[in-house]
Amino acid sequence: MKWLKGAMRASRMAFAPAGRGGVSGSVRALVVKARDGSIRTAINTARLHKEVDHALAQATRQYEAAHELADAAHEVTQLSAGVKLGADQIARTAERNLGVARASMDELARLEQRMRHIESQVQGFSRTVEQLVVHLQSITAFGTIIENVANQTNLLAINAAIEAARAGEAGRGFAVVAAEVRRLSQVVNAEVVKISTASGAMRSLVESTSGATADVLAGVNVSAREVGLAAGHFTTFVADFERMTGTVNEMAAAMQSLDGINQQIGARVGEVAANASTSASTMTDASRRVDEVRVATEEIQGVLAEFRTGGTPFDALVETTTRLREDVLSCLGRHAAGGADIFDQAYKPIPQSNPPRFTTSWDRAVERDLQAIFDRVLGDLPGAAYALAVDNRGFAPAHNTKFSQPPTGRPEHDLVYCRNKRIFDDPVGGKLAKNRQPFLLQTYLRDTGEVINDLSMPVMIEGRHWGAVRIGYDSARMQS
């Protein structure tokens, strides 16, 4: 770049008429062409910078999203492995429970068989008791008959004894037989009473046993039915459990497949994150290179700005910016002489301002006069987008009337129409605020969206660097 500056100085010295700084024919055409080319380059660089910054922002978001996705994929993989382990444990538990359920079903089936066998035995015993009751009733009837026969025999023996007594000596033997028969009938009658008593007691026991047997049989029948129902339900339960176990096994197999897929996804996401990191690095490098081009272009424009070719929009911009600096110097000097501390940088935030705005001890004093100067520039210079002065930290005590509207509280409106008393410390604003070279031409994408050529000149007051004046110019009008 130094050789270019040297060449330009030599060319300017060779061709510039005294007092004007102008150039002749071919050199003028060359300078105009170079200037237009540098402006086009600057405009394209500004637009390219916008696209690169946009791509860089997207790459950064992709990088962050990819890393978040990678972290999520890692967590999913870990969760998947945990779920797979849990599914395997559930499958093993289900298999064990299914084995226990099947064994319980077999035991319940055997219990049902035993209950059916007991039911059959109790039914047989009940029939036996019923037959025993019948036989006891027969025995009771036979006892009654025997008792009646004994009683009749006793009566006959008594009659025989009476008749033998009447017969005297001749009936003595018959009397002995009659007495023996009577004694036998009495013995038989006594035994019949015993048989009747024992038969009655036995009948009571048998009847009681019959009732208890009936209750047992009823209970066994109910138990057998309930066991049968339970066995049927348990069979259904085991069948459902078998299906559930099959489903669990399928889930375990699916989780195993899912775990493998998640691991593959994790690997792919890792590759995406690595690619996103590379893209972000590449776009960062591209942004740096675009900045290098922008800086180099600005240096070329700074050198070319020293030439006066006459009759071009650029010359009109330089002349207007020069007058603007003179008017601002006059205004600030006048107010400084009146006591305004124009170097005061104790900025106080203006409440409820978005974007942030500030005030100082002196900006209110100079605001109206500076705004009149700025508005006159917009009226005199076709294509001018704005005209203002900023201190060496980028603070604008005033702005054009159309950009100094009262705040509405809506950021999208206030960003465009409430720009006075802001600190423009963005890369372009910060650079021009600190610049001490005679000219600084920058091309940038304004925060309101348009591409602007910004020409600034430093403002020195009594040997101190106060700041700069700057004019924004429509980039399309500069290309001529």
Q: pLDDT tens, 111-123?
A: 778 777 777 877 7
- The yes-or-no verdict on residue 21 having pLDDT over 50 is no
Tell me the sheet residues that pair with 417: none
Q: What is the pLDDT of residue 431?
A: 95
- Is the pLDDT at 23 greater than 60, yes or no? no
- What pLDDT score was predicted for residue 58? 75
Share the mean pLDDT of the chain: 78
Alpha carbon distance 78, 72 (integer Å): 10
Per-residue confidence (pLDDT) for residue 469, from 0 to 100: 98
> Residues of the chain with pLDDT > 90: what percent?
29
Answer whether residue 361 shows pLDDT above 70.
yes
The 3 state secondary structure assigned to the chain is: CHHHHHHHHHHHHHHCCCCCCCCCHHHHHHHHHHHHHHHHHHHHHHHHHHHHHHHHHHHHHHHHHHHHHHHHHHHHHHHHHHHHHHHHHHHHHHHHHHHHHHHHHHHHHHHHHHHHHHHHHHHHHHHHHHHHHHHHHHHHHHHHHHHHHHHHHHHHHHHHHHHHHHHHHHHHHHHHHHHHHHHHHHHHHHHHHHHHHHHHHHHHHHHHHHHHHHHHHHHHHHHHHHHHHHHHHHHHHHHHHHHHHHHHHHHHHHHHHHHHHHHHHHHHHHHHHHHHHHHHHHHHHHHHHHHHHHHHHHHHHHHHCCCCCCCCHHHHHHHHHHHHHHHHHHHHHHHHHCCCCCCCCCCEECCCCCCCCEECCCHHHHHHHHHHHHHHHHHHCCCEEEEEEEECCCECCCCCHHHECCCCCCHHHHHHHECCCCECCCHHHHHHHHCCCCCEEEEEECCCCCEEEEEEEEEEECCEEEEEEEEEEEHHHHCC
Predicted local distance difference test score (pLDDT) of residue 301 = 59
Can you tell me the mean pLDDT for 184-211? 74
User: Higher pLDDT residue, 453 or 325?
Assistant: 325
For residues 55 and 283, the answer to whether their CB atoms sit within 8 Å is yes
- Has residue 241 got a pLDDT over 80? no
pLDDT digits (tens, 9 = 90+) for 370-420: 999 999 999 999 999 999 999 999 999 999 999 999 999 999 999 999 999
pLDDT > 60? residue 1: no
Of the ranges 86-100, 182-196, 255-269, 357-371, which is most confident? 357-371
Rounded distance, CA 370 to CA 404, Å? 12
Question: What is the C-alpha to C-alpha distance for residues 417 and 223, in angstroms, rounded to an integer?
Answer: 94
- Mean pLDDT score, 326-349: 97
- Alpha-carbon distance 313 to 305, whole Å? 12
pLDDT tens, residue by residue, 135-164: 767 777 767 777 777 777 777 778 877 877
Say what the pLDDT of residue 7 is: 38
Q: How many residues does the structure list for the chain?
A: 480
pLDDT tier for residue 340 given thresholds of 50, 70 and 90:
very high
* Reported confidence tier of residue 104, pLDDT bands at 50, 70, 90: confident
Mean pLDDT of 88-105: 77
Residues 6+ apart with CB under 8 A from 391: 343, 345, 397, 433, 466, 467
pLDDT at 95 over 80: no
Give residue 297's pLDDT band: very low, low, confident or very high (50, 70, 90): low
- Tens of pLDDT along 460-475? 999 999 999 999 998 7
pLDDT digits (tens, 9 = 90+) for 213-227: 777 767 777 777 777
